[in-house]
Amino acid sequence: MDPFQLEMQCVLSTGGEHSRKMGLLQLLKSQFICHLIICYVFLVSGLIINLLQLCTLPLWLLSKQLARRVNVRLAYCISSQMVAALEWWSGTECTLYTDPESYPLYGNENAIVVMNHSFEIDFLCGWTFCERFGVLGSSKVLAKKELAYVPVIGWMWYFLEIVFCKRRWEEDRTTVAHSLQNLQDYPENFWFLLFCEGTRLTPKKHQVSMQVAESKGLPKLKYHLLPRTKGFWITVQNLRGTAAAVYDSTLNFRNNETPTLLGILNGKKYHADLYVRRIPLELIPEDEAECAAWLHKLYQEKDSFQEQYTQTGRFPGPIVSPPCRPWSLINWLFWSCLLLYPLGLLLAQLIISGSILTIVTSVALCSAASLGVRWMIGQTEIDKGSNYGNKEVPLNNN
287: which DSSP letter?
S
Among 10, 183, 244, 276, binds ligand LV5NTVZW (CB under 6 A): 276
* Minimum distance from residue 167 beta carbon to ligand TJR (Å): 8
Length of the chain: 398
- Tell me which residue of 398, 386, 392, 389 sits closest to 168, measured CA to CA: 398
With contacts defined by CB under 6 A, how many residues of the chain interact with ligand LV5NTVZW?
43
Q: Is the separation of the CB atoms in 138 and 74 below 8 Å?
A: no
- Please, which residue, 207 or 358, has the CB nearer to ligand LV5NTVZW? 207
Residue in 331, 397, 259, 335 with CA at minimum distance from that of residue 83: 331
Distance CA 54, CA 75 (A): 12
Please select the residue that binds ligand TJR; options are 76, 123, 190, 299, rule is CB under 6 A. 123
- Cβ 265 vs Cβ 282: under 8 Å: no
Q: How far is CA 243 from the centre of its chain?
A: 19
> Is beta strand 271-280 parallel, antiparallel or unpaired with respect to 93-98?
parallel
Q: Choose the stretch contacting ligand LV5NTVZW; rule: CB under 6 A; options: 39-47, 51-59, 195-203, 313-321.
A: 195-203
Q: How far is the CB of 397 from ligand TJR (least distance, A)?
A: 17
Q: What is the largest CA-CA distance in the chain?
A: 72
CA–CA separation, 285 vs 13, rounded Å?
49
Q: Could you give the CA distance from residue 126 to residue 103 in angstroms, rounded to a whole number?
A: 16
169 binds, among ligand LV5NTVZW, ligand TJR, none (CB under 5 to 8 A by kind): ligand LV5NTVZW
Q: Of ligand LV5NTVZW, ligand TJR, none, which one sits near residue 60, judging by CB under 5 to 8 A according to partner kind?
A: none
- State which H helix or E strand residue 70 sits in: helix 64-84
279 touches ligand LV5NTVZW (CB under 6 A):
no
Using CB under 6 A as the binding rule, whether residue 145 contacts ligand LV5NTVZW is answered as no
Q: CA 182, CA 393: separation in Å to the nearest integer? A: 30
Contacted entry of ligand TJR, ligand LV5NTVZW, none for residue 276, CB cut-off 5 to 8 Å set by kind: ligand LV5NTVZW
- Report if residue 229 touches ligand LV5NTVZW, rule: CB under 6 A: yes
> Footprint of ligand TJR on residues 252-291 (CB under 6 A)?
265
DSSP state of 319: B
Binding positions for ligand LV5NTVZW, rule: CB under 6 A: 106, 113, 115, 123, 126-127, 129-130, 139, 141-144, 147, 165, 167-169, 172, 176, 191, 193-196, 198, 208-209, 212, 226, 228-232, 247, 249, 276, 389, 392-393, 395, 398
Residues within the interface to ligand TJR (CB under 6 A): 38-39, 42, 81-82, 85, 123, 144, 147, 150, 153, 195, 199-200, 265, 373, 376-377, 379-380, 385-386, 388
